[in-house]
Structures are given as structure tokens and as C-alpha cells.
């Protein structure tokens, strides 16, 4: 007879796979066993967890609420088991980490490699992309966020700050002039990035007031690297995050313009799920990453 935890794990598998056959393959169980388990759980709870048709299996509203609680319970059991192995046990197992594309490649990946070399019994799955990832819904352990945090259910550790800056090449500025006020941007060739969670509007601060300046871009791109490349090619002025062009600024390949009108710096936070217990593998990675980011000159 299946116990409550086994029933919960089967329920999660059916909900995530959206089908009994797929869940049975994932769990290496027979489809009838999976079906009986769900029926048993529904009887025990006296709640309908799935709407079933010949074409699909869909979680009910009550099932969705139950699903979040069950996932949290299963995760707590996993963390409790890890903690029981010893608070000072060497990290082992797999963790998943997400960050924006350029930030992940430039600043997170070196820490991932250091972590893997330090703890050879670990594995890391990295997802670097320019969209906001919901850690809880998508199952990631650690995320790095630039900007104001909207999700209060996550634990956060501030590790630095960066600026939104407008940059252009010295050659472009020599040919077209250096703008002294953001109202002059309409006379310039502007490069707009449409990616990630960054607000597409260009905002400036003047006399203590935040001003939204509508822009007309000549070039629109979907990655920050493309915008940087266009600016390096003397095409125009791009809005970037300061860390993305730290090397180009140091080498005088790009220059910042309109610096007195910049918005306040954006915080960088490491976020992870709010758990009563924290596994050694996650704690160790966060500590290592935080130490490296806090001590990086481009971020502080």
C-alpha cells in the first residue's frame, strides 16, 4: 500500500507531465498503479484534483493549490534528509542557477567552475537568458537579479550595484557631437534593446525628478551584445548596464554620455527559495558566488 508521501510524489508527476502514461514512465510505475494512486488520494482528501478527458489531464483549481503545498513538503523532506547527513557534510548533488545572458557568462560562470572544482561531487545546471525566471515554478535553486525585487517570497543577498548608462564610441561622438541634455537625443542615432525585464523607456533624473524621455530608435535589437556591437561600430548611442561594457570603457572604445542625468544605481541580488532548511550544496554555492561578486570592481 502506498503511503502519503508516495501518493504526493505521484500526484506531482501527473500534474507536471499532464498525463498518467507520461507520469508512469517518469516514475517507472505501471499506468494502472498511477491511476489508482490518484483515485486513492482524491478519496482520502475528498477533493477532485484532476479534470480528465480522453485527450488531456488537467489540474483543477483545488489541485493547483494542493500542488504548491505538496511540492514544498517534498522539498522540505529532501532538505531534511540532506541536513541529517551532517551540517558540515561536503556539498554533493545537483543545483540549478539562472541569470541574465551576459551577466551569467561574465560573472556567474567563473564561480560555477570554481564551485565544481572545489566540490567534485556536485553538478550545476546553468540557464543564462534575458528573461525573468520564476525560481519556484521552474524549479531553480539560485537566481541573480539586477534591479528592484518584486518577489518577497525569496531570500535575497545584495552583492553589488550597477548603473544604466548611455554609451557611444569616441568616433561617433566626434562626428555627431556629445549630447549635453537628454532632450538632444532626438538628433542622434539611438540603439534600443528589447530584451529581458529592463524597462524599454529611457528614464533620466533632473532636479531630483524622474523623467521619462520618449525615444525614436534607428536600430532595435533583441540582445544587449548586439547593441554594444552596434555602438562599437560607430552607429550611435546605446543604453547598457555598466558591467556589460566595463572592458570597453577601460579601453576607451566606448564613452559614457549624459552621466549627470542617470537613474540611481540598480542593486544586484542573489535570490533563492525561502526554505526552513538550506542544503549544504546551495549554501556553499551562494557563499562562494557572493564573495566573488562583492569583491568584483565592476559591480561595486
Domain of residue 26 covers 4-84
CA dihedral 184, 186, 188, 191 (to 10 degrees): 120
* pLDDT at 39 (0 to 100): 92
Pair 64, 111 in one domain: no
Pair 185, 254 in one domain: yes
Give the three cell numbers for residue 105: 557568462
255 located within any domain: yes
Cell 544586484 -> residue? 268
Cell 540611481 -> residue? 264
* pLDDT at 92 (0 to 100): 85
197 located within any domain: yes
299 located within any domain: no
Give the three cell numbers for residue 173: 561622438
How would you classify residue 270: left for phi > 0, otherwise alpha for psi between -120 and 50, otherwise beta?
A: beta
Continuous segment of H or E residues that includes residue 3? none
300 located within any domain: no
Question: CATH number, domain at 139?
Answer: 3.40.190.10
Question: CATH number, domain at 213?
Answer: 3.40.190.290
Pair 226, 257 in one domain: yes
Q: What is the largest CA-CA distance in the chain?
A: 79
Pair 153, 280 in one domain: yes
User: How far is Cα of residue 236 from the mean position of the Cα atoms in its chain?
Assistant: 30
* pLDDT at 196 (0 to 100): 60
* pLDDT at 89 (0 to 100): 66
Pair 270, 281 in one domain: yes
Domain total of the chain: 3
Question: CATH number, domain at 47?
Answer: 1.10.10.10
* pLDDT at 85 (0 to 100): 63
Q: Which residues, in sequence order, are CB contacts of 182 under 8 Å at separation 6+?
A: 202, 204, 206, 211, 213, 258, 261
What are the pLDDT tens digits along the chain (300 aa)?
Answer: 678 999 999 999 999 998 998 999 999 999 899 999 999 999 999 999 999 887 778 999 999 999 988 988 888 887 777 667 655 567 888 999 999 988 999 999 999 999 999 999 999 999 998 877 777 777 789 999 998 887 666 789 999 999 999 999 999 999 999 999 999 999 999 999 987 655 667 999 999 999 988 888 999 998 889 999 999 999 999 999 999 999 999 999 999 999 999 999 999 999 987 555 557 889 899 999 999 999 998 898
Q: Which residues pair with 146 in a beta bridge?
A: 268
Pairing of strands 50-52, 57-59: antiparallel
Residue 293: Cβ within 10 Å count: 22
Amino acid at each position: 500500500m502506498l503511503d502519503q508521501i508516495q501518493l504526493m510524489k505521484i500526484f506531482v508527476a501527473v500534474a507536471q507531465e499532464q498525463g498518467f502514461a507520461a507520469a508512469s514512465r517518469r516514475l517507472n510505475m505501471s499506468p494502472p498503479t498511477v491511476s489508482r494512486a490518484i483515485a486513492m488520494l482524491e478519496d482520502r482528501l475528498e477533493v477532485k484534483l484532476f479534470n480528465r478527458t480522453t485527450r488531456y489531464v488537467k489540474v483543477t483549481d483545488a489541485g493547483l493549490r494542493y500542488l504548491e503545498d505538496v511540492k514544498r513538503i517534498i522539498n522540505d523532506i529532501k532538505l531534511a534528509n540532506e541536513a541529517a547527513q551532517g551540517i558540515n557534510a561536503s556539498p554533493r548533488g545537483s543545483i540549478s542557477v539562472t541569470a541574465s545572458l551576459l551577466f551569467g557568462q561574465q560573472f556567474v560562470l567563473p564561480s560555477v567552475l570554481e564551485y565544481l572544482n572545489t566540490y567534485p561531487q556536485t553538478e550545476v545546471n546553468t540557464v543564462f537568458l534575458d528573461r525573468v525566471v520564476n525560481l519556484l515554478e521552474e524549479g531553480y535553486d539560485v537566481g541573480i537579479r539586477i534591479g528592484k525585487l518584486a518577489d518577497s517570497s525569496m531570500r535575497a543577498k545584495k552583492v553589488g550595484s550597477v548603473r544604466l548608462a548611455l554609451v557611444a564610441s569616441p568616433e561617433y561622438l566626434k562626428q555627431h557631437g556629445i549630447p549635453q541634455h537628454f532632450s538632444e537625443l532626438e538628433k542622434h542615432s539611438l540603439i534600443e534593446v528589447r530584451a529581458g525585464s529592463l524597462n524599454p523607456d529611457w528614464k533620466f533624473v533632473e532636479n531630483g525628478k524622474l523623467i521619462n524621455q520618449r525615444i525614436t530608435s534607428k536600430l532595435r535589437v533583441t540582445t544587449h551584445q548586439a547593441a554594444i556591437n552596434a555602438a562599437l561600430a560607430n552607429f550611435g548611442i546605446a543604453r547598457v548596464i555598466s558591467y556589460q561594457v566595463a572592458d570597453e570603457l577601460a579601453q576607451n572604445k566606448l564613452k559614457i554620455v549624459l552621466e549627470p542625468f542617470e537613474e540611481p544605481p540598480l542593486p544586484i541580488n542573489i535570490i533563492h527559495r525561502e526554505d526552513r532548511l538550506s542544503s549544504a550544496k546551495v549554501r556553499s554555492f551562494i557563499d562562494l558566488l557572493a564573495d566573488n561578486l562583492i569583491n568584483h570592481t565592476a559591480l561595486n
